[in-house]
């Protein structure tokens, strides 16, 4: 008696002896060694269908319905079903099916999840079935046969290169030729004085940069000549090299050195040598905002080197370097200054003139000021960058000078002051 068990596209048939009925199974025994040997031999011919652990775990005591559940496996989709063609499909049918499916599932067109994996499966199936030798091996032995053949499972062409070679086009600029090249950015160092950095300034700078060649109008080709397809890369701008390793064939894609990745070659212009650009000097008016400091960077768009073959120009970056002031020191938006006064002025108080970025200004020193005291001159500091109406402060640190030598009269007066201080203290204690 035979029991048919569906397994995906395949059918597994299990034979049970007719004399093995429900009435005599208790008295009938099949030697364990014989059963394991027969099923083991069956599994050996198709190890993917009957895993070894299933064979070792089976016993004649296992009910048939449980055995059936364990024998049901899901067969992988074969290359024919992936492309949706019959096993006797012609190369023309295979190519037509691939064209339709590849266009639908190309990841640059189809953004759904799993589209790229589907695209790779379609490309793999197409490459095998279109090759007579690979297709013959696959028809006889399946994917396992391809694994054992000389090609190896890692020897498939890049699916995107395969697509480009068939359609003679690139989707989504994948591997597309880079005809236009953006110009390089330039850096210019600008030196400012302390006050120029604080209040801002307008400067005219002279920049040396690459500009479009006037002779060839930036094309790089000699006037009167035309560009032609590069013979090295066939106009693709890329060269593919393959190397076989124990892990399979690896492909390396690099830019074509003959045409610099453009896919075209031409007779170079005598003026620019084919670059399409010549060096020129240009004067640029630059407005430096108030509040910049050393290390600040200003960006001037499109004032860098010109692009190649119609590419966008680069930008100009101006790096600020500020000459320090010998008296005033900067701390972010605040300005620091140290004011020296005599001990008499510290005791009695005074008004002194101090330098600021706005010019000289009066500063009142209160009587009895202590050495190291910091006095604040509000809004005498650096304007906040891009917020010209807001300014920091000038912080004035008071430094009291003690004389090392005194005249006789000065000493006498200080001694009298000291005696007066002692007398006042003594009376206060009484």
What digits encode the pLDDT tens for the residues 62-113? 444 444 444 333 445 688 999 999 989 998 888 888 888 887 887 767 778 8
- Mean pLDDT estimate for the chain: 78
Domains of the chain: residue spans and CATH = 2-71 (no CATH), 79-167 (1.10.287.110), 186-322 (2.60.260.20), 325-430 (2.60.260.20)
Token pair belonging to 98: 């691939």
DSSP 331-399: ETTEEEEEEEEEHHHHHH-EEEEEEETTEEEEEEEPTTPPTT-EEEETT-SPEETTEEEEE--EEEEEE
What tens digit of pLDDT does each residue of 370-415 get?
999 999 999 999 999 888 689 999 999 999 998 888 888 888 988 8
Q: Is the pTM of this model over 0.85?
A: no
Distance CA 50, CA 28 (A): 26
Residue 284 has pLDDT above 60, yes or no: yes
Determine the Cα–Cα distance for residues 385 and 200; give it in Å rounded to an integer: 10
Q: How far apart are CA 133 and CA 78, in angstroms?
A: 17
pLDDT tens string 359-368: 999 999 999 9
Phi, psi of 337 (to 5 degrees): -145, 145
How confident is the model over 280-294, as a mean pLDDT?
95
């Amino acid at each position: 008696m035979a029991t048919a068990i569906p397994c995906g596209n395949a059918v597994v048939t299990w034979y049970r002896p007719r004399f093995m009925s429900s009435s005599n199974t208790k008295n009938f025994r099949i030697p364990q060694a014989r059963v394991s040997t027969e099923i083991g031999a069956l599994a050996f011919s198709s190890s993917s269908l009957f895993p070894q652990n299933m064979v070792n775990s089976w016993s004649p005591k296992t009910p048939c319905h449980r055995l059936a559940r364990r024998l049901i496996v899901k067969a992988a989709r074969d290359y024919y079903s992936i492309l949706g063609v019959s096993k006797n499909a012609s190369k023309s049918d295979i190519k037509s099916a691939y064209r339709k499916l590849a266009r639908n599932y190309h990841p640059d067109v189809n953004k759904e999840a799993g589209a790229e994996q589907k695209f790779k499966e379609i490309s793999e199936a197409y490459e095998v079935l279109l090759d007579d030798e690979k297709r013959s091996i696959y028809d006889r032995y399946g994917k396992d046969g391809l694994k054992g053949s000389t090609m190896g499972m890692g020897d498939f062409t890049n699916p995107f290169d395969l697509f480009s070679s068939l359609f003679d086009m690139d989707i989504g600029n994948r591997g597309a030729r880079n005809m236009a090249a953006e110009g390089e950015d330039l850096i210019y160092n600008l030196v400012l004085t302390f006050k120029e950095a604080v209040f801002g300034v307008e400067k005219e700078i002279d920049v040396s940069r690459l500009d479009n060649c006037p002779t060839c109008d930036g094309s790089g080709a000699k006037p009167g000549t035309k560009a032609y397809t590069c013979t090295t890369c066939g106009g693709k701008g890329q060269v593919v090299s393959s190397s076989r390793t124990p892990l399979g064939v690896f492909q390396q894609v690099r830019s074509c050195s003959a045409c610099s990745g453009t896919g075209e070659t031409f007779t170079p212009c005598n003026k620019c040598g084919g670059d399409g650009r010549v060096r020129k000097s240009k004067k640029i008016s630059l407005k430096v905002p108030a509040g910049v400091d050393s290390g600040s960077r200003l960006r001037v768009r499109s004032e860098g080197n010109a692009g190649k073959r119609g590419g966008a120009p680069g930008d100009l970056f101006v790096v600020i370097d500020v000459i320090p002031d010998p008296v005033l020191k900067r701390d972010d938006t605040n300005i620091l200054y140290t004011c020296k006064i005599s001990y008499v002025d510290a005791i009695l108080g005074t008004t002194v003139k101090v330098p600021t970025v706005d010019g000289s200004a009066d500063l009142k020193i209160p009587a009895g000021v202590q050495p190291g005291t910091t006095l604040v001159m509000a809004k005498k500091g650096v304007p906040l960058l891009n917020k010209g109406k807001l300014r920091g402060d000038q912080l004035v640190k008071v430094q009291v000078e003690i004389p090392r030598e005194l005249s006789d009269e000065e000493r006498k007066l200080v001694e009298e002051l000291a005696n007066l201080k002692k007398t006042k203290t003594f009376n206060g204690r009484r």
